[in-house]
Amino acid sequence: MLAAAGQAFREIFTPAFRTILFKCLGVTLAMLVLLIIAAEWSFAHFVTLPNWAEKTIEWLGGLALVVGSVFLIPPVTSLIAGLYLDDIAAQVERTYYPSDPPGHELGTATAIGMSLRFFLVILAVNVLALFLLLVPGVNLIAFYVGNGYLLGREYFEMVAMRHLPPEAARELRKANRVTVLLSGFVIAGLASVPILNLTTPLFATAFMVHMFKTVRRGGA
C-alpha cells in the first residue's frame, strides 16, 4: 500500500500528468474561493457581531482561511474527481497496466452525479469536524475517520466501476473493506496537508487504480 501511495504521488508530477494537474489545481482553487466567499457572505448576512468581534475575526482571517481550507479540501476534491477521474485513471492504466483490458469511461453525468452525492456527505462530516475544533483531539478523529472512510469508498468504487458493474464494484470494496479504509486514511492524510492537498484528486485516483488492480488480483 505504501509503495502504491509513493508511486501515485510521484506520478502526479510527471509530464504525462502535467496538463491534468494544472486543470485540477485551477478548478480546485476556483471552487475553494467560491466556497470561502459564500461562507463569508452567509456569516456577514446572517450573523451580527459587535465591532470588536468583527475586528478580531478580521485579524484571525488568515489563520481561519488556512484551517478552513483543510476542512474544505476533501468535499471539493470529491467534485473534482467526477470531472477528471476517467482521464487520470486511463493515464495510469496505459502507463502501468498496458496488457490489462482498458477501463470504460463512467460518463460525465454518472461521475458527477456520484461526486455530488459524496460531496454533500463529506461536506457534512467536515463541517462537523470544523465545529469540533474546540474539543481537542475529537475533531482530528472525526476528520480522519470520516474522510478516510468516505474518500476511500468513493475513489475505490469510482475506479472499480470503470471495469465492473456498480454492484460488483461495491461487493469488491466490501470484500476488501479494511484495505480500502486504510487507503482512505492515506488520502485523508494528504488532504490535511496545506498546498499538497490541492493534488488530492490526482493522487487519490492514481493511488486507487493501483489498489484496485492489487485487490482484484488477490494481493494484500
Percent of the chain with pLDDT over 90: 20
Give 69's contacts (C-beta < 8 A, 6+ positions apart): 32, 36, 194, 197
Q: Report yes or no: 148 and 187 within 8 Å, Cβ to Cβ.
A: yes
**pLDDT value of position 180:** 94
Quick: pLDDT tens for 147-161. 888 889 888 998 999
Which is higher by pLDDT, 134 or 117? 117
CA distance 212 to 194: 27
CA distance 203 to 6: 10
CA distance 218 to 29: 38
Quick: pLDDT tens for 90-128. 989 998 899 998 888 877 777 777 777 777 777 777 677
